[in-house]
Amino acid sequence: MSTRPWLTVITVVKDATADFTRTAESLALQDLTGVEYVIIDSSADRRAIPGALADYPALSSAAVQWVEPAGIYAAMNAGLALSTGEYCYFANAGDVLFSTDTLARVRASLTVSGASVSDWAFGPVEILSQDGTRVITPSWDYAAEKAACFSGGHFPCHQGTFASTSALRSFGGFDTSYSIVADYAAFLRLSQVSDPRELDFVIATFAEGGVSTTRWQESFRQFHAARMSILRPSGFVAIRERWNTASQYAKVFIVRSVLRRGRA
């Protein structure tokens, strides 16, 4: 019988010990049978993360590798390179699994008699805004979004996505030429490998405020560039993609640049 882990959880962290502690604490409460934990650390203090990890005996077998700071996606690729699990899941510093049985439920959804049933899967996540508001991402029609090149503004967050390690490696993992949306580009690549299994329970909570939020104009440009490069739409589909991109940009502009200024 194979002793290969069914899952590798990968955490990327850089100078964020308190955020890492929240992630480690939530992971330590899970059923970790058949789960491998890999930590990619680029912190200036190389002792901080191993020191924090020591507070969680359930994670004592975790592998910690320090790498030179080269950006979050390069670090995620380093974690992918170390993975021996059938699936990968990226819970970066600050991300918290939604409930104590999350991983057990994912495993039950992705395996039948020990065999995997899908190359990848996604579920909703809870987004914690900077003002403390919590919102769970709504369900969405994957097939309809795929027909529109995923330009309608709906796509899985990496905090809610589990992917076959071999599938991620088949296209090189995260393309670091996309400085903000390499996880989105990887999602597009996964959609070309196969269609996913949709999970009907919340996977994780993550805090809004990353670069895709603070640099949203650039993220839109990169979203569009990734769709055009990877999916290569043509004809009416390409026109629809451009229309949707412009429409979504206008909506976000109104919310972020007009309404929020009015509240200030």
What one-letter code names the amino acid at 244? N
Res. 1 pLDDT band, cuts 50 70 90: very low
User: Could you give the CA distance from residue 264 to residue 229 in angstroms, rounded to a whole number?
Assistant: 39
Q: Tell me if 175 sits within 8 A of 186, measured CB to CB.
A: yes
Structure tokens at 72: 């979050």
Mapped onto helix, strand or coil, the DSSP state of residue 263 is helix
What pLDDT was estimated at residue 235?
A: 92
Mapped onto helix, strand or coil, the DSSP state of residue 30 is coil
What pLDDT was estimated at residue 258?
A: 63
Mapped onto helix, strand or coil, the DSSP state of residue 251 is helix
Q: Strand 161-164 to strand 120-122: parallel, antiparallel, or no bridges (unpaired)?
A: antiparallel
Q: Indicate left, alpha or beta for 94 from its phi (over 0: left) and psi (-120 to 50: alpha).
A: left
Indicate the pTM of the whole model: 0.91
pLDDT in tens, 52-74: 999 999 999 999 999 999 999 99
C-alpha gyration radius of the chain: 18
Q: Tell me if 80 sits within 8 A of 170, measured CB to CB.
A: no
What residue ranges do the domains of the chain occupy? 1-117
* Other CB atoms within 10 Å distance of the CB of residue 63: 15
Per-residue pLDDT for 188 more than 60? yes
Per-residue pLDDT for 2 more than 80? no
DSSP code of residue 60:
T
Buried b (16+ CB within 10 A) or exposed e, 125-140: bbbbeeeeeeeebeee
Q: Tell me if 29 sits within 8 A of 100, measured CB to CB.
A: yes
Determine whether 228 is exposed, middle or buried from the number of CB atoms within 10 Å of its CB (0-12, 13-18, 19+). middle
Per-residue pLDDT for 213 more than 80? no
Q: Tell me: domain 1-117, CATH 3.40.50.300, correct? A: no
